[in-house]
Structure 1
């Protein structure tokens, strides 16, 4: 079988995954663990928070809207009967907000066991940019999460070394998508499109929202791999994943009839969509998956060829470092 045939089979199995071998019911007791979920006020993030809270974790639901975040926290307290959930204001599209959110968390807590880099946006117009002028999707989905993780590394590394942590491991769960393989650009990343100004905007318009999204999801995998490479020896377990085709609020920018039909046919219930991130973030056996890629539902898989390129991962990391150094 050729490698191309294997990729086609892999893509098909991601669209139509087999029955899960592990579900949210298998999440272990999380007493003593402190966890952050970005995008925690809605969609997958909110459901992930609910399961974590139900299994006795202390949870921070990080999101941009204070009103929406506080409403989600109140609802989750009511539905679970648990009170250890808190709202953390985080605007991933604003690096100043990202730094502030990390500082606020570290001022309140002395440990962090798991970070779910779950939040993001999908298919906004090419004109949408972050507070600092970066492409809206890459700036939010990749650069925002890179900086948030970087800012939290001190508390992560302390937690991994703590005597109270029996595994001496901490986890970063990076939500990507099979879009990183289906919506590609030559070379994996178009660096011009990541810039600012008229030339960058012209390139983003040419690529279109779908390919810009795919590029951002590739960035999630590359970041996850490089994080694993750099900090695995210090106890950081970094895993990237495709959660499955799940209909959430991410699709709010998709307005075409074709998109609506595809979503209605291929989108799975959110109860299935939370399986893979929860497995990566809580299952004991997932502690051995540093630098790996998972697909629906909690299955090992291989990402795209570009996503496995160590030089591209390093170049992305260095680019991100350059963008955030003044913050």
Structure 2
């Protein structure tokens, strides 16, 4: 019951106090937004471009990304850069990080924004992980890990000595913790079902973000967040009454960018390491067990093990 009440409390947050117009000038800042070819990520990229950031759209589909770049250019007068990234394929992630580092020596903000929600339970990543956990958690962990040296070096050049990694979770994290036996395909994973697998991945996002903040908090501000109930491509797998109910409580897509832009660009955001942000642009409660240091250590070590030979 507590999880449902918490979710309801975050579902109707009122009017945002932070607006995209409040974002400071970002001239000279290099920023990556994963999944920025559509939805919340695209709105995030738009706001960043309007404030003069150099924005990389990291996504799987070159065709969709190029169209998004054209759309954003018309709306902002600025041109984003495409970075091919398939978070469901570990070698693709490595190639993306290497491509980025061949072009840039600095990275001021990484928005781990991309995600997949409740796909058919049969779908797996290229390496056989549950598609949702493999994409949302393992994929973003590996991409972040490969970029940590660049992030740490960039922090040394900033006035505040900090850079930021902003990881998008969901109020869905309230409904399931971590079961390591379901991260890869198994009968137990299939029995868990796609909705609980989604919740697990969003729980994992917070645990990962908290552990990143513990390990690198001297130079990296790591924040996880609930972007709100937002209209986006995430709902593409919903059907029937479930779709009707979900769509009835959704806010327009631009609202979804507000909280992560606040965490990723505002002065207040520099004080949010290890925090969980909720709509709109405020700190709120996540499930208490997401903050367990032992669980964070165990998840980090498991993630490290998966990518050590890539």
Relative to the length of structure 2, the TM-score reads 0.97
Partner of 2:92: 97
CA distance in 1, matches of 2:37, 2:276: 25
Partner of 2:183: 194
Partner of 1:175: 168
Whether the 8 Å contact between 2:235 and 2:243 is mirrored in structure 1 is no
The answer to whether residue 218 in structure 2 is matched with residue 222 in structure 1 is no
The alpha carbon displacement at 1:262 in A equals 1.4
Q: What pairs up with 1:1-327 in 2 under 5 angstroms?
A: 9-83=5-79, 85-162=80-157, 165-181=158-174, 183-184=175-176, 188-196=177-185, 200=186, 202-233=187-218, 235-255=219-239, 257-327=240-310
Whether the 8 Å contact between 1:63 and 1:90 is mirrored in structure 2 is yes
CA distance in 1, matches of 2:77, 2:62: 22
CA distance in 2, matches of 1:13, 1:21: 17
Whether the 8 Å contact between 1:247 and 1:263 is mirrored in structure 2 is no
Whether the 8 Å contact between 1:63 and 1:91 is mirrored in structure 2 is yes
Per-residue Cα deviation, 1:259-316 (whole angstroms, up to 9, x for no partner): 2221222100112111001001001111011000011111111111221221111111
- Partner SS for 2:125: coil
CA distance in 1, matches of 2:93, 2:234: 20
- Partner SS for 1:125: coil
Query: Which blocks of at least 5 consecutive residues in structure 2 are unaligned?
Result: none
* Runs of 4+, deviation exceeding 4 Å: none
Whether the 8 Å contact between 2:90 and 2:307 is mirrored in structure 1 is yes
The alpha carbon displacement at 1:167 in A equals 1.6
CA distance in 2, matches of 1:212, 1:131: 17
The alpha carbon displacement at 1:56 in A equals 0.2
Query: Which blocks of at least 5 consecutive residues in structure 1 are unaligned?
Result: none
CA distance in 2, matches of 1:86, 1:78: 15
CA distance in 1, matches of 2:236, 2:6: 27
CA distance in 1, matches of 2:150, 2:282: 30
The alpha carbon displacement at 1:28 in A equals 1.0
CA distance in 1, matches of 2:135, 2:92: 12
The alpha carbon displacement at 1:9 in A equals 4.7
The alpha carbon displacement at 1:54 in A equals 0.7
CA distance in 2, matches of 1:258, 1:312: 36
- Partner SS for 1:275: helix
Relative to the length of structure 1, the TM-score reads 0.92
